[in-house]
Structure 1
Amino acid sequence: MEETKEDDILDPERLVQCPYDKHHRIRARRFPYHLVKCRKSYPQVAEELSTCPFNARHLVPQADLRDHISNCNDKRFIEEEIGKRATHLRQMNSVSTWQAPPCDEDWDTGEYLAHLPSLLIRESQNG
C-alpha cells in the first residue's frame, strides 16, 4: 500500500512502498510505471490484490478492499467534488424571479417621431 503523510502527499519525490514487493521503495512520480512492471513480475501477488476504484495506485489485499473503500481519502475527495458540482447545478437551474417592466410604448401610434431630432425631420421633408 502507498505510504502517505499529510505534509508531503503531493511531493513527487517522496518514497512509496510497492505493494508487490515490500523491499521496493519508489519515488511517487515513478510509482504508476513501477506498478505495471511489478504486476508482470509478481503475477501470484497481483491475483491477491484488488485495485481501489477511486485511485488505481491503491492496491490492497482483496479481503481488505471493502474497508479500504469506506476509508479511502480519494473517495472523500470525489464525494466532495460531486457535492460541489450538484450544488452548482442546482444554483444554475433555479427559476429566475425577474419580470420585465411594463411597457408603455406603442410603436404603431407614431409617437416615436416626436423624439427624433428636428434636423432629421427637416431632411426628410426637404427631400
Structure 2
Amino acid sequence: MSYYEFGTCPYNPDHRIMLFRMPGHIVKCQKNYRGPPLQICKYNATHRVLDMEEHLKECTYYRNFIDSQAMQIALTMRKAPILDDGSDTNTEL
C-alpha cells in the first residue's frame, strides 16, 4: 500500500505518477507529445490543460489563491473597532 498521492500525466493519460515526481515527468513526457498545445496553469505548473477557463473553475490552487487574496484585501481594509464603554480616553486628570 502506497502512502503517496498519484496523478495522471497531462500528456499521456496512461501514465500514473506520484505527485512529487510529476514536475520531472512532465518535462520528459512533453518532449514526445504530439497533440494540441496545452496551456500551463499559473497557479500550479503541473496542471497542463486545453481550456484554461474551464480548468480554473475546478482548480483548487486557483481557489486557494483567490481566497487568500480576498483575505489579504479584507485585512488591509479593516478598520480598528470603536470602543464604546462610556469612558472618554481624552480626559485629563
Q: Using structure 2 for the length normalisation, give the TM-score.
A: 0.72
User: Which of 1 and 2 has greater Rg?
Assistant: 1
Greater fraction of residues in helix: 1
1:72 aligns with 2:81: no
Distance 1:16 1:95 in 2: 46
Provide Cα deviations, 1:16-49, integer angstroms capped at 9, x if missing partner.
111112222111111111111212x22533x521
Provide Cα deviations, 1:70-122, integer angstroms capped at 9, x if missing partner.
3322221111111111111112xx26758753335xxxxxxxxxxxxxxxxxx
Distance 2:67 2:61 in 1: 10
Q: Which residue matches 1:16?
A: 7
- What is the aligned counterpart of 2:34 among 44, 48, 55? 44
Q: Which residue matches 2:24?
A: 33
Distance 2:28 2:72 in 1: 37
Q: Show structure 1 runs of 4+ deviating over 3 A.
A: 95-100
Distance 2:32 2:59 in 1: 25
Paired AA for residue 77 in structure 1: N
- Cα RMSD of the aligned pairs, angstroms, is 2.6
Paired AA for residue 34 in structure 2: Q
Distance 2:80 2:4 in 1: 49
2:8–2:14: 8 Å Cα contact kept in structure 1? yes
Distance 1:18 1:101, change over 3 A: same
Q: Among the aligned pairs, what percent are the same residue?
A: 25
Distance 1:33 1:53 in 2: 17
SS in 2 for 1:66: helix
1:82 aligns with 2:69: yes
Q: Which runs of 5+ in 1 are unaligned?
A: 1-11, 105-127
